[in-house]
C-alpha cells in the first residue's frame, strides 16, 4: 500500500522580496513609484505579522482590479476638516493602503492638536488587515480604533438568508511602552475572515464546521469548493451580527460610502468602483497621563493577566498582540511562508506583468 502523499511544505521569502514584488507589480499597473513602494511595504508588513489572507496573497486580486479599471492608480486623495476633531477623506477610488495611510496621518495630526481625532473615509478600496492602521497610531503613542465595511458581503443579518453584511472588522491598539508589544486586537465580526476561507479554497483544504452554513438549508459547509454556496457565521450569534451592522453604518453610511446591497463584491468584479468606507479614531494618551506612566501601569496589569494559572487544556493567557509580535520577529528572521499554489499564482502574475519573479528576488 502506497504511503499517503504529503503536501509540499511552503517555501519562504524575506519580506524585502515580497515588498519588491508588490512594488514592481503596482508600478506595472500605473502607480507612481512612491505610492507603489508604500503599498508594497504595507502588504509585506501584513505577511510579517501573520495576516496571511491580506498580504501578498491579495496581489493577483489587486492587479486584476487595477488593470480592469476598478481602482484608480493615480488618485487625488482629499481631506476635509469638518470640525476641530473630525475630518473626512475622499480617496478618489485609490488603493486602500494609500487612502488609509492618509487617514491615519490625519487622525494623528488632529489628536496631537486637540487630543482626539475621528476620521471618516469614503471612495476607498480594500486596505489589507485592520491591524496595520491602528498599529501606525500605537507606534506614535496614540490609541487607535478602526473599522471598515468589508469589500464583499458574506454574512446575513441575524435570522436572514441574504448576504447583506460583511466581516466588518474591529481593531483596537493600545501602546504598551518602548520595547513592549502593542496591545492589539484585530477581529472579524464573523467566526473567520473570508480571506481565511479563500486560503482554504486556494490550497484545497477542508474547513471546520462552524465557519460556513448553506444559504439553502442552514447545514454546515466544510468543502472549500462549496464556499460560494455559504454564509459566514457571526461571532457570538446575534451579537456579532449586530456589531457588524453598527460598524458598517459608522464606516459606510455615515461617510457616504457603500453599505448593505450597495457593497460591490471585489472578488467577482474588476471594473466597478467599490466606494469602500472606513473610520479611524486616534486618542492621545498624553492628555490623560504621561505615556511612560501609563505604560508602567499597563505592563503591571498585563503581567498579572499573563501569569494567571492556565486553564487545563489551554496554552494559558495570551494578550492580544503578543502572538503578532512573536510572529513578526520569527518571520523577519526566517522569512514568510509562501504555499506552493500561491507561489505559482505569483509566478504567473510576474510573467504577465513582465516583472522579475519572486525566485529572482531571494
**362 residues of the chain, pLDDT tens digit each:** 444 444 556 799 999 999 999 999 999 999 999 999 999 999 999 999 999 999 999 999 999 999 999 999 999 999 999 999 999 999 999 999 999 999 999 999 999 999 999 999 999 999 999 999 999 999 999 999 999 999 999 999 999 999 999 999 999 999 999 989 999 999 999 999 887 898 888 888 999 999 999 988 889 999 999 988 889 999 999 999 999 999 999 999 999 999 999 999 999 999 999 999 999 999 999 999 999 999 999 999 999 999 999 999 999 999 999 999 999 999 999 999 999 999 999 999 999 999 999 999 99
Alpha-carbon distance of 340 to 16, in angstroms, equals: 19
* Neighbouring C-beta atoms of residue 301, cutoff 10 Å: 10
Give the whole-angstrom CA distance, residue 276 versus residue 151: 7
Q: What is the pLDDT of residue 203?
A: 86
Instruction: Give backbone dihedrals phi and psi of 184, rounded to 5 degrees, phi first.
Output: -140, 115
Provide the whole-model pTM. Answer: 0.93
Q: In the prediction, which pLDDT does 6 show? A: 46
Q: How many beta carbons lie within 10 A of that of residue 4, not counting itself?
A: 6
> What does the DSSP assignment read for 9-29?
PPEEE-HHHHHHHHHHHHHHT
pLDDT score, position 198: 83
Count CB atoms within 10 A of the CB of residue 354.
8
Rounded distance between C-alpha atoms, residue 205 and residue 297, angstroms: 44
Give the span between the Cα atoms of 259 and 164, in whole angstroms: 8
Amino acid at each position: 500500500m502506497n504511503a499517503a502523499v504529503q503536501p509540499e511544505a511552503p517555501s519562504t521569502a524575506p519580506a524585502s522580496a515580497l515588498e519588491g514584488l508588490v512594488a514592481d507589480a503596482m508600478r506595472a499597473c500605473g502607480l507612481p513609484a512612491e505610492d507603489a513602494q508604500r503599498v508594497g511595504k504595507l502588504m509585506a508588513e501584513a505577511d510579517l505579522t501573520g495576516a496571511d489572507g491580506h498580504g501578498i496573497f491579495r496581489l493577483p486580486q489587486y492587479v486584476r482590479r487595477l488593470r480592469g479599471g476598478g481602482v484608480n492608480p493615480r488618485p487625488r486623495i482629499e481631506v476635509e476638516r469638518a470640525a476641530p476633531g473630525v475630518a473626512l477623506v475622499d480617496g478618489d477610488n485609490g488603493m486602500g493602503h494609500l487612502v488609509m495611510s492618509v487617514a491615519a496621518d490625519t487622525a494623528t495630526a488632529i489628536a496631537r492638536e486637540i487630543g482626539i481625532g475621528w476620521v471618516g473615509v469614503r471612495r476607498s478600496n480594500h486596505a489589507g488587515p485592520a491591524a496595520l492602521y491602528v498599529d501606525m497610531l500605537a507606534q506614535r503613542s496614540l490609541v487607535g480604533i478602526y473599522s471598515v465595511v468589508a469589500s464583499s458581503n458574506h454574512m446575513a443579518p441575524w435570522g436572514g438568508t441574504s448576504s447583506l453584511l460583511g466581516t466588518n472588522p474591529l481593531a483596537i491598539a493600545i501602546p504598551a511602552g518602548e520595547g513592549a508589544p502593542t496591545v492589539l486586537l484585530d477581529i472579524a465580526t464573523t467566526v473567520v475572515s473570508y480571506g481565511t476561507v479563500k486560503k482554504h479554497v486556494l490550497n484545497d483544504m477542508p474547513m471546520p464546521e462552524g465557519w460556513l452554513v448553506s444559504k439553502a438549508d442552514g447545514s454546515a459547509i466544510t468543502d472549500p469548493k462549496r464556499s460560494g454556496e455559504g454564509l459566514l457565521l457571526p461571532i457570538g450569534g446575534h451579537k456579532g451580527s449586530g456589531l457588524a451592522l453598527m460598524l458598517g453604518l459608522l464606516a459606510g453610511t455615515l461617510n457616504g460610502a457603500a453599505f448593505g446591497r450597495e457593497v460591490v463584491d471585489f472578488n467577482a468584479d474588476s471594473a466597478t468602483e467599490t466606494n469602500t468606507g472606513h473610520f479611524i479614531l486616534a486618542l492621545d494618551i498624553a492628555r490623560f497621563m504621561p505615556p511612560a506612566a501609563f505604560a508602567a501601569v499597563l505592563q503591571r496589569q498585563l503581567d498579572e493577566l499573563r501569569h494567571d494559572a492556565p486553564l487545563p487544556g489551554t496554552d494559558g493567557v495570551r494578550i492580544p498582540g503578543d502572538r503578532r509580535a512573536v510572529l513578526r520577529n520569527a518571520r523577519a528572521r526566517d522569512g514568510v511562508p509562501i504555499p506552493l499554489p500561491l507561489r505559482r499564482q505569483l509566478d504567473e502574475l510576474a510573467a504577465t506583468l513582465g516583472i522579475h519573479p519572486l525566485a529572482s528576488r531571494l
